Amino acid sequence: MSAATYFQIINEAMRLYKGGELKQAYDLVTETIDLDAGNPAQMLNFRYCIASKLGDKELAIRLMREAIVEREYWYGFDYLLEDDDLQPLQEIPEFKRLAANSQEREIEAKRNSKPSMRILKVEGSGSNQAKVLMALHGNGDSAAVTEPYWQGCLRHGYDLALPQSSQITFWDAYTWIDLDKGTSDLAVHLRSIHSMGVEQKDMIIAGFSGGARLALHAVLKGEIEPFGLILIAPWLPELDDWMEMLRSHGRMRLRCWIICGDQDNDCLEGAKRLFSILEESGVNAHLKIIEGLDHDFPVDFDERLPHMLHDLEMESSEEER
C-alpha cells in the first residue's frame, strides 16, 4: 500500500475495520501516518480509536497525547465523548484532560474559521485568465487534500480555484454539510473570481463527494450558472427533494459529467439515479462507472479530466451555434 492515495488508505482501513480485522487496519494506518497528501490528524485518530477498541488503553492514550499535546491537533469535543471506540478511555483522568485541551482549540478554531480559496494559474497566463475550474473538496477534507487530483486542468488552459469551506470539524478538516452556509461561502469565492475578470459562463464547477453535492445544489438553485458541471463520487442524500429542480434544468442547457466507483456503496445508486433524471430531462449528461473503485478518484483521473473538459466545451460550443 506504499503507493496508495490518501483516500485509498482510508477506504481500505475502514473496510478492514468493519470486517473486524482491527490489527490489520491499525497496521495499515500506522505504516502511512506520514503520508504527505493526507490529513495526519485523521490518521492518528484512526490509530488511537483502533488501539482503544483492541483494549490497549495505554497505547490509545499515548497516541492521543501525541496528537493533541505534541502535534497540537484537535478533535470535536462531542465526538471524543460519544465515539463508541473511545468508551473504554472515558474514565481515565488523562483522557478527560486531553479532551478538555482539544475542546479549547476547537472553540478557537471555529471562532476564527472563514472561507478561503487557493488559485493556481496556467503558466504564462498573467493576471487574467478566460477559463476557471472551481473544484470543491469533500466533507472532512481540505483544499490541500483535493488539489493534486485537479491540477491536470492547468494543462488544458484552465486556472484552478480551490475553495475551502468555513465549516471546520477537526484539525484541517472541513465540510459542506450545511448547504446554506456552504452556498454563502461559495458566493464569497465567486465574487473573488469575478474580480479576476472571469464570468460564470466561462467556468466549470466540480466537486468530490460532499463537494459535488454542494456544487449541484448551487447550480440547481441558480446561485451559479457555469457552462459545465463535474461530479466525482457525488453524495446526494436529498435527491428526492431536488427532483423538481433537476427536471427543470433540461431547459437550461446544463452540461454534466458524473464519475463513480462500482464499489462506492454510499454514492453509486445516487449517481446512477441522478444521471437517469438528467438524461430524461434533456440535459447533456455523461456517467462513467469505474470498475473496482471505492469512494475515491479514479487512478487515471489526470488523464480523464482533459477529456471531460473537452466534451463540456464542445457541447457548449454546439449549443451556441
Give the per-residue pLDDT at 53. 96
> Which residues, 6+ apart, have CB-to-CB distance to 20 below 8 Å?
none
One pLDDT digit (tens) per residue for the chain, 321 residues:
345 788 888 899 999 999 999 999 999 999 887 656 689 999 999 999 999 999 999 999 999 999 999 999 999 999 999 999 999 999 999 999 999 999 999 999 999 999 999 999 987 665 555 799 999 999 999 999 999 999 999 998 999 999 999 999 999 999 999 999 999 999 889 888 888 888 888 899 999 999 999 999 999 988 888 989 999 999 999 999 998 888 776 555 678 999 999 999 999 999 999 999 998 888 889 999 999 999 999 999 999 999 999 989 887 665 554
Give the per-residue pLDDT at 1. 34
Give the per-residue pLDDT at 125. 61
Give the per-residue pLDDT at 321. 47
Cβ-contact 207, 232 below 8 angstroms: yes
CATH code of the domain occupying 6-112: 1.25.40
d(CA 56, CA 299): 36
Label the pairing between strands 173-175 and 167-170.
Answer: antiparallel
Alpha helices in the chain (DSSP H): 6-18, 22-31, 40-53, 57-65, 77-82, 93-112, 143-150, 179-194, 210-220, 243-248, 268-280, 301-320
Q: Which amino acid is at 320?
A: E
Give the per-residue pLDDT at 2. 40
Domain ranges in the chain are: 6-112, 116-320
d(CA 296, CA 284): 24
Domain 116-320 fold is Rossmann fold (3.40.50)
d(CA 295, CA 98): 32
Give the per-residue pLDDT at 317. 62
